[in-house]
Amino acid sequence: MWFDQGNELFDVCRTSFFAYLLLALPIFVSISPTCLASKEFSAFRLQQFELHGSSYGTSGSLLNLETRILPGSPMVSSPRRCYVVRLVDLTVNMYKDLLTAQVAGIVIIVPADLSSISGEIRDQIQELEQAMLADFTTVPVYFIQETQEVNQVYQTIKESAESLGAASTALQTLFHHVHGNGVQLVSSLGSPKVMSDAQILSIQGALIGTKSSRSFPILISTHYDSMSPAAELSFGGDANGSGAVSLLELARVFSHLYSTRGTQKYLEDQVDSSDQSDLQDTRLVVCLDSLTTNPDKLFVHVSRSIREGTMLNTFINNLKKAAIHLEPSLTVEVIQRKIRTENLLSWEHEKFHLKKINAITISSSESPSLVKSSMLDVKDNVDTENLAAKTRIVAEALAASLYNVTEVGTAFSGSLGVSDESVNSLLEFVTSQPRSAQLLAGKQNKFVQSLRNVLARYTHETSLFTMKPDKRDANLVFYDGTSGTIVAYDVKPAVFDLVLSLAIAAYIGAVYLAIKNFSLIYDSLSYKLSSSNHHTSSTTNGTSGSHTSKVKAQ
């Protein structure tokens, strides 16, 4: 009996058109394209990296959410809400609140013109950036650059937020839902992966003089990468573009003093010997970092007491003399600080110091925590003349220490000296692209190659050292997925569709009535009114039945 019934049911299914529809529908759903993109922005994800086993930045990348705006909307912990906020409006506390509320996403609009921001807002942004880099979160955080389209989207969200906030009655809210638009942001980035082939490249160039000084070189060191919450937005003008520029300029200036001949043999020896022993002989390491943060200050950071008669002492004294001679308004201060290994933020020279090498860092920052990893640090942030002046001082002091000149500040002059134009063009080159470590970590990176080429122009021979993080026990891990696309869609809430359904139902009802009573319309329009027309009229039904009803619906 059950079998018979089943057979019947099967027959019904087979003959029914809806059965085919049921079969076809999932196929249609799966093959249909999902969206038509309307507005696309390139977006930069907050940095993600691991250092000494702890994570920094964000691990989130997924974004497919309706938006709310800040300030203006209440902060609600919801897995479907993403908050859009301008960088200038965002404070550290707001950011922390957002993370605590476990919102589903944060999109930060970065102003198009970063160099014009100043004063309190600049400090606020820099404070926020440090907080972002110090924290770790799973909330996806994106930066998008302000464009006209971004502003349009922002305006749409803002209007939506305002009308929702102001609407006091339920009816007004409903009206807004039907009338206004929401915005849904969708990110194209997949989940970030560890960059397994990341490497950090160091470039070394050498200027070789006489035999005696050859064995006790002076090392000038600086890091050329930069840091900011968004990898693609870290142009690092001051930190540490200024250091890199200064180093290249020093190489250029000193290259005039060294002959290029007869060095090939020495260099071959150099390459053969391990660089460790080479380093042990180093008389002094001078690290350059963030030279233009304070325009009229230059700090010399040391980690040990300065003894009389050492190269270190001579150099510092010469630095002071050179400053007085060249830039009387500029003060040189020596800061002694014991190395604290647990601190992540440290000066570069401390690394050398741990290897028992005399090392100092020259910087215009008082402490490493004041070196801002900021995306505000663009080329315009650097005062080229100031940088040139400071480079000149370092060059003079170096020359005086190397050649035991008593009259400091006269070694370089005219075309041989540090020139503003050269500093400017070098700065332009260095800040021409973002130099976040993970962006430079690829093999055969173009920027590193060209940096090496510049150094090779001024020094006798350059070599490239590669540092690869250990795969099993890495204390530095980079993640990819630094940039992607965010697409903004206009959307309506679900209520809108319900209201629309009601309107359509009313309209269809009107159409139905018009078709049912079409004979009335037909009669009123027909040429001759006679009873024989009634049949015809009911058939022509469709003709203008729908348009009358449309007029009603309108």
CA distance 36 to 24: 23
Helix (H) or strand (E) holding 159: helix 148-166
Site string for other proteins, 491-510 (x = CB under 8 A): xx-x--x--xx--x--xx--
Going by C-alpha positions, the residue among 505, 482, 496, 519 that lies closest to residue 232 is 482
- Please identify which residue in the block is written with the tokens 């090496």: 452
CA distance 110 to 99: 19
Of 91 and 537, nearer to other proteins (C-beta) is 537
Whole-Å CA distances, 379 to 114, 116, 261: 10, 12, 37
- Using CB under 8 A, pick the residue from 163, 184, 294, 422 that binds other proteins: 184
Binding residues among 21-80 for other proteins as defined by CB under 8 A: 28-29, 32-38
Does the CA dihedral 391-395-398-400 come out positive or negative?
negative
DSSP symbol at 368: G
Strand pairing report for 461-467 and 200-206: antiparallel
Among residues 163 and 544, whose Cβ is nearest to other proteins?
544
Which residues does 389 contact at the CB level (< 8 Å), separation at least 6?
A: 326, 327, 330
Amino acid at 336: Q
CB of 439 to other proteins, least distance (A): 31
> Of the listed pieces 178-186, 237-245, 379-387, 463-471, which binds other proteins according to CB under 8 A?
178-186
Per CB under 8 A, the segment of 97-105, 215-223, 267-275, 515-523 that binds other proteins is 515-523
Nearer to other proteins, 157 or 360 (CB): 157
Q: Is the dihedral of CA 404, 410, 414, 417 positive or negative?
A: positive
547 binds other proteins, rule: CB under 8 A: yes
Least CB distance from residue 70 to other proteins, whole Å?
23
Q: How far is the CB of 73 from other proteins (least distance, A)?
A: 20
- Least distance from other proteins to the Cβ atom of residue 250, Å: 55
Amino acid at 528: K
Nearest approach, Cβ of residue 66 and other proteins (Å): 11
**Is residue 522 within the footprint of other proteins (CB under 8 A)?**
yes
Q: Least Å distance between CB 507 and other proteins?
A: 7
Q: Using CB under 8 A, which of the segments 51-59, 88-96, 465-473, 487-495 binds other proteins?
A: 487-495
* 3 state SS of 241: helix
CB of 42 vs other proteins, minimal distance in Å: 19
Q: Segment near other proteins (CB under 8 A), from 111-119, 272-280, 406-414, 490-498?
A: 490-498
Provide the minimum distance between the beta carbon of 516 and other proteins in the complex, in angstroms, as a whole number: 6
Q: Is 550 in the site for other proteins (CB under 8 A)?
A: yes
448-467 positions binding other proteins, by CB under 8 A: none
Candidates 15-23, 137-145, 225-233, 525-533; binding stretch for other proteins (CB under 8 A) = 525-533
Residues numbered 194-253 forming contacts with other proteins, rule: CB under 8 A: none
Among 100, 467, 512, 520, binds other proteins (CB under 8 A): 512
Express the helix, strand and coil content of the chain in percent, nearest 5 each: 45, 20, 35
In whole angstroms, what separates CA 220 from the centre of its chain?
30
Closest CA to 523 of 537, 539, 510, 535: 537
Query: Does residue 181 interact with other proteins by CB under 8 A?
Result: yes
Q: Please select the residue that binds other proteins; options are 111, 145, 543, 552, rule is CB under 8 A.
A: 543
Tell the smallest beta-carbon distance from residue 500 to other proteins (Å): 5
Task: For the CB of residue 158, give the shortest distance to other proteins in the complex, in Å.
Answer: 18
Q: Which span sits near other proteins by CB under 8 A: 49-57, 234-242, 282-290, 529-537? A: 529-537
Instruction: Report the C-alpha gap between 373 and 241 in whole angstroms.
Output: 12
- Cβ distance to other proteins smaller for residue 41 or 49: 41
SS3 286: strand
Q: Name 397's bridge partners.
A: none
Residue 128 tokens read as: 């926020």
Q: What are phi and psi of 94, to 5 degrees?
A: -60, -45
Distance CA 459, CA 454 (A): 9
**With helix as H, strand as E and coil as C, how does 161-212 read?**
HHHHHHCCCHHHHHHHHHHCCEEEEEECCCCCCECCCCCEEEEEEECCCCHH
Q: Are 416 and 177 in contact (CB under 8 A)?
A: no
Minimum distance from CB of 508 to other proteins (Å)? 5
DSSP class of residue 240 equals I
Please identify, using beta-carbon distances, which residue of 477 and 511 lies nearer to other proteins: 511
Half-sphere exposure of 401 (CA within 13 A, CB side): 25
# residues contacting other proteins (CB under 8 A) = 50
Smallest distance from other proteins to CB 28, Å: 7
What the block records as the tokens of 353 is 């110091």
545 binds other proteins (CB under 8 A): yes
Told to check if 445 binds other proteins by CB under 8 A, we report no
Q: Which is nearer to other proteins, 134 or 525 (CB)?
A: 525
> Interface with other proteins includes 152 (CB under 8 A)?
no
CB of 175 to other proteins, least distance (A): 16
DSSP state of 473: S
Q: Is 288 helix (H, G, I), strand (E, B) or coil?
A: strand
Report if residue 539 touches other proteins, rule: CB under 8 A: yes
- Give whichever of 216 and 512 is closer to other proteins, judged by the CB atom: 512
Does 516 help bind other proteins (rule: CB under 8 A)? Answer: yes
Identify residue 450 by its one-letter amino acid code.
S
SS3 label, residue 145: strand
Residues at the interface with other proteins (CB under 8 A): 28-29, 32-38, 181, 184, 186, 489-492, 494, 497, 500-501, 504, 507-508, 511-512, 515-516, 518, 522, 525-528, 533, 535-536, 538-548, 550-551, 554
